[in-house]
Amino acid sequence: MAGDTGSVDLSVGHRLKQFNSTILFIMLYMCSCAFNFGYDVGNFGGVQGMQSFGKRFGQCDPTTGTCKLPPWLSSLMTSLPFLGKALGAIACGPIAERYGRKMCVLVLACLSFIGVLLQTTARSSAQFTVGRFISFGMTGMTIVVVPIYLAETSPKVLRGMMTSTLQLMIVFGQLIASLVTFGTQHISGDKGWQIPVGLQFIAPAFIVALLPLVPESPRWLLTRNRTEEAKVSLRRLYKNHTEAEIEQEIDILRHAHSTEEKGPWSEVFNKENRKRTMVAVIAMFGQQITGQAFSSQYSVVFYQSQGYKSQAFLFNILSNVTGLVCLIATWFMIDQIGRRPMLMIGGSGMAIFLFIVGGVGVEKHPNDSERGALVASFILFACSYNLSWAPVSYVVVSEAASTRVKEKTNLFASVISIITTFVTSFTIPYLLNAPYAALGAKVGFIYGSINWVMVGVAYFFIPEMKGRSLEEVDELFASGESLRNFSKAKVTPTATYIEDTARKEPGSGEA
């Protein structure tokens, strides 16, 4: 019957009972793509602080014997690969729309193989950067196809949990990378950086090997009029459904216009969809403009610049461990607390901790307690990020887009996100270091202020979509309901029917 999200049981116990073996497998499998993404980002964040890497690609100070990348090269090697990420995201949309979600996964794994091979065999900074450029094509495809696939295959009460696993696996990949770089940092010669880079061959091998076991999205199959294959996928996803219930699911999906032809690019920005596109763009823009590149890509070199030469890699590990713990907490909470409150609460924490970092940066000669507060605040900023903008943005963008232009909307939002990441990644070394702006820790004031702005933006422009089926979300946007009132709005029985009527008793294991 019609109702708001209060009629949906979103308790952790009930949601966990909705998993079956297939749903659990596809969640972990698809997010292994995100693990590869996270390992790549976290790996270079540590590798660029290694003496062996600095000796090969950077400059050595003859007086101290220290080798490191100059700021301009660090900026280029960190930021230019995001252009590859943008190209990967752009290519992913048409591939996902025409050839399916599984084909995108195969292509991104192949890109990863090529990129890692170029990096491990590099003898010049140019070749290494080209390798990262190609590898980041993989990351661009990941942020487009994984949220789409998980949103299309997950039950509505699990959608936030499953889609937020994307960011959980990104941070898990960063944690593993930080542990590997911590262990290899003192290895002399090229092996010190080649080992952590070369380990990136493992994830794409796993992805390719298990791809035949992954069911294609039934919603995508229906858009291609492949009804019998869609039924096969639904049987695998909803193992306890009868044939009559599978047929009912197919009929309702058709009724919800999932078999419509895909809309043109102009439809992404037309009167019916411009609000949905705005929500998706805000979510992905906010994920990057709030300063994540500061902690994820430059944490080791930032700690080193603050005088923590030997502890920099250890602090990076600690930051990733605490971030992973926060993401696990988010995994359980997101479908109970909701998307909007978590963005606002986490964003406020990010702003506060960055202001503390900036405040310590004002001191010319901070004492040990103040330096300790800087490190703790920098780590807590990453924790707050992983409780909010990091995972929630992927959930919001997967829910907001209209079915007719889902791939195009996700692509547009992802490219905006990537451009934002490129700008922040490129500029941070110039903001941090002399002879440029030389702000050091005072960069915290810049991104702290931006975080306060984004808290206000989330309050006014991010709707609450927890507990809603994708069909209910379609109806809410079409109704013209205020974005701030989505959580209380009523929907018609047709919108809820697809995921509610064919259910048996809770705990049956059905999705």
Q: What is the pLDDT of residue 503?
A: 42
- Res. 74: pLDDT tops 90: no
User: Which is higher by pLDDT, 507 or 482?
Assistant: 482
Higher pLDDT, 487 or 400: 400
Question: pLDDT exceeding 70 applies to what percent of the chain?
Answer: 90
Q: Which two tokens stand for residue 348?
A: 């406020």
> Average pLDDT, whole number, for the chain?
83
Residue 310, both tokens: 């030997």
CA distance 242 to 420: 47
User: Which H helix or E strand runs over 67?
Assistant: strand 67-68
Give the mean model confidence (pLDDT) for residues 387-397: 88
Q: What is the mean pLDDT of residues 185-191?
A: 87
What DSSP line would sit under 100-151, residue for residue? -HHHHHHHHHHHHHHHHHHHHT-SSHHHHHHHHHHHHHHHHHHHHHHHHHHH
Instruction: Flag whether pLDDT at 9 surpasses 60.
Output: no
| Across 190-199, 238-247, 361-370, least confident range | 238-247
Per-residue pLDDT tens over the stretch 95-150? 988 898 999 999 999 999 999 999 999 999 999 999 999 998 998 888 888 888 88
10 Å Cβ neighbour count for 459? 15
In angstroms, the CA 483 to CA 464 distance is: 8
Q: What is the pTM of this model?
A: 0.70
Asked if residue 493 has pLDDT above 60, the reply is no
The tens digit of pLDDT for each residue in 280-337 reads 999 999 998 988 888 777 787 788 878 887 788 888 888 889 988 888 888 788 888 8
Query: What integer is the mean pLDDT of 387-411?
Result: 85
pLDDT (0 to 100) of residue 439: 86
Share of the chain above pLDDT 90, in %: 24
What pLDDT does residue 353 have?
Answer: 95
Write down the pLDDT at residue 51: 87
Range list of H helices, 256-298: 265-268, 274-289, 292-296
Residue 290 to residue 198: CA distance in whole angstroms? 31
